[in-house]
Amino acid sequence: MDLQQDGVAKVGMGSVVGAGLLGLVLYASTSEDWAGALGGGLVVAAAFAVAGAGVGFLFGIPRLLTSGAASRPDDMGATSTGSYSPNTNLEQVSDWLTKILLGAGLTQIGALPGLLRELGHALAPVVGNGPGASAFAAALTVYFTVIGFLSGWLLTRLRLAKALSTADRQTLDDSVRQTRDRARELNFTTAEVEKLFATQTEGLQVQALALLQGDPDPENYHLILRAVSSELPPFVLLQALMAAKVAVEHGGLAPEQRRELRFAVENKMRNDRAVPPDSRRRVVAGQILKLLAAEASVPEVPEAPQVPGQAKGEDGADATEERTAGGGRPGGE
């Protein structure tokens, strides 16, 4: 459906641009120097389309969600954390320029018709200077400025936000990977990891959970259980689930701890908002449940029963068998 809508939007935009170019070609054909009029008109159209696209880009720059929640929580939901946040200079410049352009435009809106007439007179020689050249040049600038603005705004809204979010998620992934790989070398104690997680700062919580992934220790089980059971931002919750998965794979959890963890993960999976069906969080949660179920299904090997009156030697062999070494019968040769 999205691809179909995208195709319809492209066809529509192409039709609008094509209509403008067709009008330019028809007008240039009436000029004595049609090639010069066509070339000049194309340059004017391109220049104002680029200018409009630049303004549309400024208006379309997405705002950074500093709370750490992405617009669509598909897997790596958080686009920023308290410790690791993208540079927002572009967003601030966009905000300032947008306000300046709006302010200047509103103050000069009364003079806009006169400015358009002056612009048309200035550009009339460029488009052939024929009959109605001034009005045509003014209309050409307005037409392609609006097209450029809409194109720049739409492309920025549809493409830039996704590109920035992907880059930020990659930065977070790299940070987590580095911390996980160096966890044993950093040698954080359980108390220090708990202190990091207790800061309520998303970046530090992510680093604490990455340490638990790289250096699993049953002593940290209570922190993992608390993290899985808590209401956390999407990316932090993903790291908590991955830490729980590593803890289960590493072993060392008591049966009661495994039951508590299974209950916490199952309860979290019932919340489609915290663990959406199409997210990595649900995939990792499902893997945890499978690991816990596999451990629960492994039967314990019972110890072989001992026959009453049958003593065992130091090596576990029956004393009776020791007396019968060499093939003799019990009680003598």
Residue 50's pLDDT is 92
Q: In whole angstroms, give the CA distance from residue 34 to residue 27.
A: 9
Mark whether 12 and 157 lie in a shared domain. yes
Q: In whole angstroms, give the CA distance from residue 306 to residue 311.
A: 9
For the residues 176-195, what does the mean pLDDT come to? 86
Q: In whole angstroms, give the CA distance from residue 127 to residue 37.
A: 4
Mark whether 28 and 136 lie in a shared domain. yes
Query: Mean pLDDT of all residues in the chain?
Result: 76
- Residue range 233-245, pLDDT digits in tens: 888 899 999 999 9
Dihedral angle sign, alpha carbons of residues 52, 53, 58, 61: positive
Mark whether 206 and 271 lie in a shared domain. yes
Q: Which of 36, 56, 53, 52 is nearest to 128 (CA)?
A: 36
Mark whether 168 and 191 lie in a shared domain. no
The yes-or-no verdict on residue 307 having pLDDT over 70 is no
Mark whether 43 and 7 lie in a shared domain. yes
Token pair of 114, please? 């006169």
Q: Note down the domain range covering 225.
A: 182-296
**68 occurs within a structural domain:** yes
Mark whether 207 and 108 lie in a shared domain. no
Number of structural domains in the chain: 2
Of the spans 160-169, 263-272, 319-328, which averages the highest pLDDT? Answer: 263-272
Q: Which of 167, 163, 161, 165 is nearest to 61 (CA)?
A: 161
Query: Which of 145, 177, 209 is where one domain is finished?
Result: 177
Mark whether 208 and 292 lie in a shared domain. yes
Mark whether 141 and 188 lie in a shared domain. no
Query: Which of 151, 177, 203 is where one domain is finished?
Result: 177
Mark whether 194 and 132 lie in a shared domain. no
**317 occurs within a structural domain:** no
For the residues 113-131, what does the mean pLDDT come to? 84
For the residues 69-88, what does the mean pLDDT come to? 39
Using CA atoms, how far residue 309 sits from 176, 312, 319, 320, in Å, is 61, 10, 10, 10
For the residues 91-106, what does the mean pLDDT come to? 70
Q: Which residues pair with 159 in a beta bridge?
A: none
Mark whether 152 and 33 lie in a shared domain. yes
Mark whether 150 and 20 lie in a shared domain. yes
Residue 64's pLDDT is 52
Q: Work out the number of other CB atoms within 10 angstroms of the CB of residue 70.
A: 21
Q: Which of 228, 241, 223, 231 is nearest to 282 (CA)?
A: 241
Using CA atoms, how far residue 196 sits from 79, 86, 160, in Å, is 20, 21, 33
Query: Which of 177, 193, 220 is where one domain is finished?
Result: 177
pLDDT, greater one: 95 or 32: 32
Mark whether 269 and 141 lie in a shared domain. no
What is this structure's pTM? 0.50
**57 occurs within a structural domain:** yes
